[in-house]
A and B are shown apart, each in its own frame.
Chain A
């Protein structure tokens, strides 16, 4: 019974994921695209939860839907709702090429799954109840993956400084 429920929630979340993803790349107004991406991120967080990645799901909601998307919406509001014609811009062969490349990547994944992983991926290893809990992830971050943790903080600092520098008023702008 529980298994059926998990399957239903998983299929609904996966369907929402794919449909909002298509909505992001097909809306004319970037504001709607950003809103669709919030739906995409939320349904991905549900998939993370079902894969027993509780901390990743919480971080997904906090970092993406909370911080990154608010920044996106601010910039879109700042630039004004300028709509770009999504299907009109660029030569026709480029639009066709975009779909061909997207389909090629999809087929590549399907072929890789069908040939290499058909038997091996159906049986999972046993996982403990504390798998993916904040305590376990925190412990790993401060022991095995300490270097990655510290490098991440430096990357974020450099990005923050870069954002400030890019947003600064330049000398050339003042003279103009």
Chain B
């Protein structure tokens, strides 16, 4: 087989997932939080594709495509929420969006 082994794929996926987690916790803008979530979803996709080749089973790739569809749905709803925030003149800051707190 050509190229790096599955270990390298999973290592890069782990690095990307860590970057995404850091972004979700660190950033205050909901837009950047969504972008960081995309990085985390893609990291899991990379691990799925790597293991799919490792076990010579296409099921992992099927799962990766399903994850992609779910990510598209999540972006659709998330961006809708952000636009709704703006139209209600709420601040785009995850620390100040506390209206739902009981």
Residues of A within 8 A of B (CB): 2-3, 6-7, 10, 14, 17-18, 21-22, 24-25, 30, 33-34, 37, 40-41, 44, 47-48, 50-53, 55-56, 59-60, 63-64, 67-68, 71-72, 75-76, 78-79, 82, 84-86, 89-90, 94-95, 97-99, 101-103, 105-106, 108-110, 113, 117-118, 121-127, 131-132, 136-137, 140-141, 144-145, 148, 152, 155-156, 158-160, 162-163, 165-167, 173
Contacts and interface: CB of A to CB of B under 8 A. Distances in A.
Contact of B56 (A6, A59, A125): A125
A23 B42 CA distance: 16
Contacts of A89: 27-28, 93, 95
How many residues of B sit at the interface, in one of the four size bands?
Answer: 35 or more
A145 B15 CA distance: 30
A118 B5 CA distance: 11
A123 to B, nearest CB: 8
Interface in B45-96: 45-46, 49-50, 52-56, 58-59, 61-62, 64-66, 68-77, 79-84, 86-88, 92-93, 95
Interface of B: 1-23, 25-29, 31-32, 34-36, 38-39, 42, 45-46, 49-50, 52-56, 58-59, 61-62, 64-66, 68-77, 79-84, 86-88, 92-93, 95
Given A121-B6, A121-B7, A156-B69, A103 B18 contact: yes
Contacts, number: 264
Contacts of B50: 51
A84 B95 CA distance: 12
A44 B16 CA distance: 10
A3 to B, nearest CB: 5
